[in-house]
Amino acid sequence: MTRRSRPEEPSSPGPGAPPSVEILDIAFHRASLVTPHGDTKAARDRLRAALKIVRSTATTVRHLRLEMRSVERPPLTDFDRALIADRFGPGTLDRALLRLRRAEERIRGLAREAERSTRGAPGPDELGTIVRAFYGRLSSVVREVDPDIVRLRAIRRFRRDRPELEPGRPTLVVAGFPNVGKSSLVARLSSARPKVADYPFTTLSIAVGHADLGFDRLQVVDTPGVLGRAGRANPAEREAQTTVRSAATVVLFVLDPSGTAGVELAEQEQLLERWRIEFPHLPILAVETKADLGQSASDRPKVSALTGEGVESLWQAIRDLVRPRGELPPLEESVVAPEEVPVPFEDRPQRSGGDDSAPERSSRSPRRGRGNRSSR
């Protein structure tokens, strides 16, 4: 089938063209293919005009919905939302979705109105005018949401480049200054094989591996390095901090006393102390790595990702911090009423809307999951 060319709508918009160009091109093209049936020419003309309106509307709406749906697939967790808000600005995603939804409503309204007018049109000229006027209005509504579609596509790409974190699973977030050996340790601790190199910001976004805890599967999250300069964090650093804040059950704070990371131990300790204050209810396990290069006098656990030294006892410490979930008595034996089940880490803001499912349960408070479940 050859495609009728319309000079005002390029048939293959360039890569930089706004999304509306392609959406409208497809919509008008499909509308131009309608084949009305009718006994008289007048009846066919009228039906053709109505069908053009209906079909261009349906095609446009389908495209807008596709743009909306694909950003929410797989369903967004609270953590996804936190990452997106951090990178694209708070409320950006919801505003873009809302504007697309409104555009859809307006298009449907315009289509109803135009279709109604075709019924009273005396002849082909008037029908042509109605269809053209509708196309014009449809185009401007779609063009208005171009920036929103562009944003949704950027968010979709961002999501695609990030691993999915399973809400409700214990999550160890490995964080610290750049170059201290976080990725090397993550590779030692989990199935993840992040890139390791001796320059800062090798890791620009989070990566996830898994490890068997015996009683559960642990998500181990590698994060970009954080320099801890207040108010001047780059996007990668902010992503790391958001992951600590929104996804961690336990934080493994990696310190490098060897000096090979180019940062003094004291400066790393300052960030550690700031985080302990900023996240008072979040268990933060500090570990010194590169033990094969020499060790500090501190009483922190010491490991080497290179030789494996200390990794087994680090595992024990991690298990001890994550274990509470596995040590609760079975529900039937619990004498505590569900409302009274202690909620040890209460700092996380409650989600609105009463949906207390997975994400809320994800992190710091494995016990709360139990409480919620038993109260159902």
User: Judged by CB under 5 A, how many residues of this single chain contact Mg ion?
Assistant: 3
Token digits of residue 305: 């990702």
Nearer to ligand GDP, 293 or 336 (CB): 293
Point out which span in 195-203, 227-235, 272-280, 352-360 binds Mg ion (CB under 5 A). 195-203
In this structure, are residues 280 and 245 in contact, taking their beta carbons and an 8 Å threshold?
Answer: no
Give the separation between CA 159 and CA 169, rounded to whole angstroms.
19
Token digits of residue 116: 């109604």
Nearer to ligand GDP, 268 or 289 (CB): 289
**Quick one: DSSP state of residue 352?**
T
Give the separation between CA 370 and CA 361, rounded to whole angstroms.
9
Q: How far is the CB of 330 from Mg ion (least distance, A)?
A: 41
Point out which span in 123-131, 201-209, 228-236, 283-291 binds Mg ion (CB under 5 A). 201-209
Contact residues toward ligand GDP (CB under 6 A) are 178-184, 196-198, 202-203, 225, 289-290, 292-293, 304-306
Q: How far is the CB of 235 from Mg ion (least distance, A)?
A: 15
Give the separation between CA 93 and CA 334, rounded to whole angstroms.
42
Q: How far is the CB of 319 from Mg ion (least distance, A)?
A: 24
Nearer to Mg ion, 61 or 204 (CB): 204
Q: In what order do the strands lie in the sheet with 217-222?
A: 207-212, 217-222, 171-176, 250-255, 284-288
Q: Does 243 bind Mg ion (CB under 5 A)?
A: no
| Alpha helix segments (H runs only) across the chain | 19-32, 41-71, 78-88, 92-120, 124-144, 146-160, 182-189, 235-247, 265-278, 311-322, 324-327, 358-362, 366-374
What is the footprint of Mg ion within residues 54-83 (CB under 5 A)?
A: none
Q: How far is the CB of 203 from Mg ion (least distance, A)?
A: 3
Query: CB neighbours (10 Å) of residue 353?
Result: 6
Sign (positive/negative) of CA torsion 198, 314, 294, 173? positive
Q: Pick one of 203, 243, 249, 289: the residue that binds Mg ion (CB under 5 A).
A: 203
Nearer to ligand GDP, 118 or 203 (CB): 203
In this structure, are residues 211 and 189 in contact, taking their beta carbons and an 8 Å threshold?
Answer: yes
Nearer to ligand GDP, 70 or 202 (CB): 202
Nearer to ligand GDP, 93 or 263 (CB): 263
Q: How far is the CB of 20 from ligand GDP (least distance, A)?
A: 42
Q: How far is the CB of 156 from ligand GDP (least distance, A)?
A: 27
Contact string (CB under 5 A) for Mg ion, positions 163-192, x = contact: --------------------x---------
Binder of residue 371, out of Mg ion, ligand GDP, none (CB less than 5 to 8 A by kind) = none
Q: How far is the CB of 178 from ligand GDP (least distance, A)?
A: 5
Query: Can the peptide bond before residue 90 be classed as cis, meaning omega within 30 degrees of 0?
Result: no
Give the separation between CA 343 and CA 67, rounded to whole angstroms.
40
- For residue 91, what are the CA distances in angstroms to 96, 302, 359? 9, 42, 19
Nearer to Mg ion, 117 or 183 (CB): 183
What is the footprint of Mg ion within residues 312-371 (CB under 5 A)?
A: none
- Phi then psi for residue 66, to 5 deg, are -60, -45
Binder of residue 365, out of ligand GDP, Mg ion, none (CB less than 5 to 8 A by kind) = none
Q: How far is the CB of 210 from ligand GDP (least distance, A)?
A: 18
Q: Which of 142, 113, 119, 109 is nearest to 27 (CA)?
A: 142
The footprint of Mg ion (CB under 5 A) covers 183, 202-203
